Amino acid sequence: MAFLKLPFKKQEKIKDFLLIEIGLEVVNMAKLTTDGGPKIQEVGSRNFSSVSEMFNASLEAIDELAGKTEEIPKKAIIGVSGGSIKTETTVAQYTRPNPKEPISGEEVAKVLEEVSGKGGFPGFKLFFSTIASATLDGTKVSNPIGLKGDKVALSCFIAYKDPEELAVFDKLINEIDMELEKIIPTSFAAAKMMLKKGDENALILRVGKGRCEATFLSKGHISEINRFDLGIGSPDLFLTGFEVVLEKLLKESAPELVWLYLDNQEIDAAELKEKLLEFDWKNAGLDRSPSVEVEEAAVKEVSEQVGLQALSTEAIE
Amino acid sequence: MKTLEFGPEATLSQILESMKAAEDENLEVSLPKGSTLLSNTINREIIEKFAKKIGKGVAVKSASLVGEEEPEDFDFVEGEDILAKKTLELGEGPVLAPSESLAEEPVESKKPSYAQQPPSKKPPSGPFKFLSGLKGRKKLLFFGAFGGTPLLILAFVFTWFLPSADVKITVEKDTKTNQITLTASAEATEVDVENRIVPLKVEEVTKSDVDEGEATGRLVVGTPAKGRVTIGNFSPHTSKKFEAGTTVKSISGLKQGLEFTLDTAVTVPKATFSGLTLVAGQVGVNTTAKKIGDEGNLPAGTEFQVGSEDVGTVKAVNDLAFTGGDSKEIAAVSEEDRKKLKEELLDKLSKEAKEELQQKLEGSTIPEGGLQVEVTKEKYDKAVGEEAKTFSLTLEVKATAKLFQEEDLKKVLVESIKPSVPEGFVVDEAGSTVGSEISQTEGEDVEILGKIKAVLIPDIKKDDLKKQLSGKNFGSAASHLQSLKNISGFEIEVKPGIFRIFKFMPFNASKINIVISEVKKDGE
């Protein structure tokens, strides 16, 4: 059986996907249709408190989804948060020998291949690599393929995970009899959403009851994704975790925005937002207080979470 | 120092709260081996930062390191700083700094089994005695060099010879048609592409066969009605003489107008008077119906006109009914039947002759109009109109063909179309089709109208592509294939399936098999 396949141009492009968004403490299964723009049709959700519960929670979530929709797409895209993620962003700068030739997919793939070949973490397996952003002759572009230029800077984002965790995803895909399209770090998708809004220095926090995933956006590059085990359930203690990740970010740049989005719909970020607004930024080393925003889900009735929204956009790119 | 021990399910907030609640200023936080909390360095940093915030000192320890037996021999643990580790584990200094490497390096939490074996008590001897003199890294290097070489060879054989890949590329094919005039010459011995001349051969073959056809003609057979009439002559002046074959026609009854003929010649005497009564002269004579069938079986008393005589002067009548007339329809051979059978047999023999002629010159083609068939023998076993259900025909033909090699024709036609082939495409000779017809014959030479429907496919150089794909990871291989012009799809299958997990194409280019299949371009 073939494992790599580029569909014929005549064949209809696959329009529907099953989005499996594995959050910090929740798993969402959503039907995504892409005809006329990405749209989340139905969602099935289940909370879990430990990684060992995640598998069963996923099966229950897809059962819920199956009860809401007539047909579940056969292609699945997994968005992951939490767990043992390690990421690195490398900006590859080079001068193109033939600036009049448009940048091809092959050229970009070669750069990614070279960059991913040089990095890595012991005991971790690469599962996602992409060009997060690019600069062409000083102009920032989201996708350089097809553009002509001389001086190129490609921001290569690479994510690694514990192979045992990846094996759980494989097992899940087999269990629900799906074809896996790709695995995307959800925080990366959320950060790209932020980049599109024009915020280049930000700290993006996905917060659950007892966990948090922090994504650093530094000078327009997604530099790192970190997690820690404190959440909205203990707002005072959470601030210590926040200080630790802030110190790491400050080594690169000062955030102009702290952007919170909730892991699931059952939690309320109002108190945490208050704490962050009262946070002593000067003591933490910032000259200017960043703004603090909480991103609300667009449609709460269908649990259409920020993670799902971000993933749905990233899935079709 | 107070030790705060936690179970595997402890949360970070519980740990921090316990630290806050503890009265001691120096704390030791102990978590079980493999704790997911401690595998994350940020959680460690948070514990330390929190301790600082509440004005306490803290040491974070994993239970696996507390009280664990020291292995005696660390010689083969690659890349490990044994002294540093021993110092750290024995707690010969403050352990407040996060030992990131300890938490992240699996080799440290799970030592290889051979590193935990007690040292062998048996003194080394024999040719490997010198090994005992090697210590630490030197020993490791020795085993690396001599033990690793076969492994390297094995790995090379494993990765070079074993994996193979089938790359099925689907390309969009285009078609282009062209027609040119070329010459087939009996004098030419090889194809002349430039002057558009192909060698011509004339071959002859005789074929014969017998075939049977069904008779579909219809024939009516039977006997005419017969009977005797009495002819009366009412003329008192002259007798009447009628020759055999004279027609008599029915003039009364339901079946008027039926014609009969007199079987013999007769003379009917003139009428006589008996007193005042005129008595007609009378003669009996046999008659036969002109047509077969029961229609002529006329009833008695039917009156007849005899020849062209006026019925007021001469009239005939039958005293007894006519009998014996009957008819039936039977199958017989018709002209159409013969014609049809001949056409069928001729067609069959022509095809056989054409095949036989083409077999005489392998790979040859006969242009339209290049086969002449002459009938040399034609014999039927039944005549036209003869009663029969089936009949047979023996036919013999002599077939003469002007033929030439299709490959020669294709060479000339492909060459003729090349200047109009778009850049990046080549003519797929195997997929292209050619046709020809004779437009003119001049002596031994034949002028041919050649036609080509050329299939154009992207110019993919398989050998180059194999080299370009070899050793690439799947992503790059896919990108490379996608970057090729006019590719509409591809599939890659790496065999054996186990090699898919490495996500690399075979390093040996000769193990990559490229198959190109074609689909029609959009709109065709």
Please count the residue pairs, one from chain A and one from chain B, whose beta carbons lie less than 8 angstroms apart.
Answer: 115
Q: Is B310 on the interface with A (CB under 8 A)?
A: no
Cα B273 to the center of its chain, rounded Å: 104
- Alpha-carbon distance of B279 to B306, in angstroms, equals 19
Contacts of A143 (CB under 8 A, 6+ apart): A131, A134, A317
Q: Is A66 on the interface with B (CB under 8 A)?
A: no
Residue A129: its chain B contacts at CB < 8 A?
475
Percent of chain A with pLDDT over 70: 91
DSSP assignment string, A142-174: S--TT---SEEEEEEEEEEE-HHHHHHHHHHHH
pLDDT at A216 exceeding the cut of 70: yes
- Domain containing A106 equals 86-158
Q: Is B488 on the interface with A (CB under 8 A)?
A: yes
Residue A213: its chain B contacts at CB < 8 A?
none
Residue A227: its chain B contacts at CB < 8 A?
40, 42
- Alpha-carbon distance of B228 to B324, in angstroms, equals 12
The predicted pLDDT at position B137 comes to 55
Average pLDDT score, chain A: 82
| B74: DSSP letter | -
With contact defined as beta carbons under 8 Å apart, do B474 and B502 qualify?
A: no
3-state secondary structure of B51: helix
The predicted pLDDT at position A300 comes to 44
Number of structural domains in chain A:
1
Contact criterion met (CB < 8 Å) for B13 and A210: yes
Residue B479: its chain A contacts at CB < 8 A?
104-106, 108-110
The predicted pLDDT at position B93 comes to 34
3-state secondary structure of B474: helix
A236, two tokens: 């005072």
What is the complex's ipTM, to 2 decimals? 0.85
Residue A53: its chain B contacts at CB < 8 A?
none
The predicted pLDDT at position B171 comes to 79
Q: Is B119 on the interface with A (CB under 8 A)?
A: no
| Burial tier of A62 (Cβ tally within 10 Å: 0-12, 13-18, 19+) | buried
Closest residue in B to A84 (Cα–Cα): B40
**Which one has a higher pLDDT value, A96 or A298?**
A96
Contacts of B261 (CB under 8 A, 6+ apart): B244, B245, B246, B247, B248, B287, B288, B290
The predicted pLDDT at position B460 comes to 83
The predicted pLDDT at position B141 comes to 63
Residue among A127, A240, A247 with most chain B CBs within 10 A, to mutate: A240
DSSP assignment string, B352-375: HHHHHHHHHSTTEE--BT-EEEEE
Contact criterion met (CB < 8 Å) for B11 and A229: yes
Closest CA to B96 of B48, B54, B64: B48
Is residue A58 included in any domain, yes or no?
no
For residues A234-241, give the mean pLDDT: 90
Q: Is A146 on the interface with B (CB under 8 A)?
A: no
Over its C-alpha atoms, chain A yields an Rg (Å, rounded) of 20
Q: CB-CB: which of A106, A234, A244 is closest to B49? A: A244
What pTM, to 2 d.p., does this model score?
Answer: 0.46
Query: In chain A, which ranges are E strands?
Result: 4-6, 16-22, 26-33, 39-47, 75-80, 86-95, 125-136, 139-141, 151-161, 179-185, 202-207, 212-218, 221-228, 257-262, 291-295
Q: Which of residues 226-245 of A touch B (CB under 8 A)?
A: 226-230, 233-234, 237, 240-241, 243-245
The predicted pLDDT at position B211 comes to 92
Is residue A106 included in any domain, yes or no?
yes
3-state secondary structure of A241: helix
The b/e string for B440-469 (b: 16+ C-beta within 10 A; e otherwise) is: eeeeebbebbbbbbbbbbbebeeeebbebb
pLDDT digits (tens), chain B, 524 positions: 788 888 877 889 989 999 988 888 888 888 887 777 887 888 989 999 999 988 888 888 876 544 444 343 333 333 333 333 333 333 333 333 333 333 333 333 333 232 333 333 344 444 445 555 555 555 556 656 666 777 888 877 777 888 888 888 887 777 888 888 889 888 888 889 888 899 988 888 999 999 999 998 888 889 999 999 999 999 999 999 999 999 999 999 888 999 999 999 999 999 998 888 889 999 999 999 999 999 999 999 999 999 999 999 999 999 999 999 999 888 899 999 999 999 999 999 999 998 888 888 778 888 888 888 999 999 999 888 888 889 999 999 999 988 888 888 899 999 888 887 877 788 888 888 888 888 777 777 888 888 888 888 888 888 888 988 888 888 778 878 877 766 777 888 888 877 777 778 888 888 899 888 776 655 34
Phi (first) and psi of residue B16, to 5 degrees: -65, -40
CATH number of the domain encompassing residue A133: 3.30.1490.110
The predicted pLDDT at position B416 comes to 87
Chain A closest-CA separation from residue B64 CA (Å): 20
Q: CB-CB: which of A5, A84, A233 is closest to B491? A: A5
Edge to edge, what strands does the sheet with A151-161 contain?
A86-95, A151-161, A125-136, A139-141
Structural domains in chain B? Answer: 2-116 (no CATH), 126-157 (no CATH), 163-171+459-520 (no CATH), 219-326 (2.40.30)
Residue B39: its chain A contacts at CB < 8 A?
84
- Alpha-carbon distance of A255 to A260, in angstroms, equals 13
Nearest 5°: CA angle at B517, between B511 and B523? 155
Is residue A231 included in any domain, yes or no?
no
- Alpha-carbon distance of B165 to B471, in angstroms, equals 11
Q: Is A205 on the interface with B (CB under 8 A)?
A: no
Q: What is the pLDDT of residues A265-305, one digit of tens each?
A: 777 778 888 888 888 888 888 888 888 888 765 434 433 46
Is residue A76 included in any domain, yes or no?
no
The predicted pLDDT at position A114 comes to 87
Closest residue in A to B517 (Cα–Cα): A8
The predicted pLDDT at position B145 comes to 61
A312, two tokens: 């749905």
**Which one has a higher pLDDT value, B288 or A174?**
B288
3-state secondary structure of A51: helix
Chain A closest-CA separation from residue B95 CA (Å): 20
Of A43-57, A83-97, B70-84, B331-345, the range with the highest mean pLDDT is B331-345
Q: Is A67 on the interface with B (CB under 8 A)?
A: no
Phi (first) and psi of residue A187, to 5 degrees: -65, -30
Neighbours of B370 (CB within 10 A): 23
Residue B56: its chain A contacts at CB < 8 A?
none
- Alpha-carbon distance of B323 to B333, in angstroms, equals 31
Q: Is the dihedral of CA A302, A303, A309, A315 positive or negative?
A: negative
Contact criterion met (CB < 8 Å) for B489 and A8: yes
Is residue A98 included in any domain, yes or no?
yes
Q: Is B100 on the interface with A (CB under 8 A)?
A: no
The predicted pLDDT at position B329 comes to 86
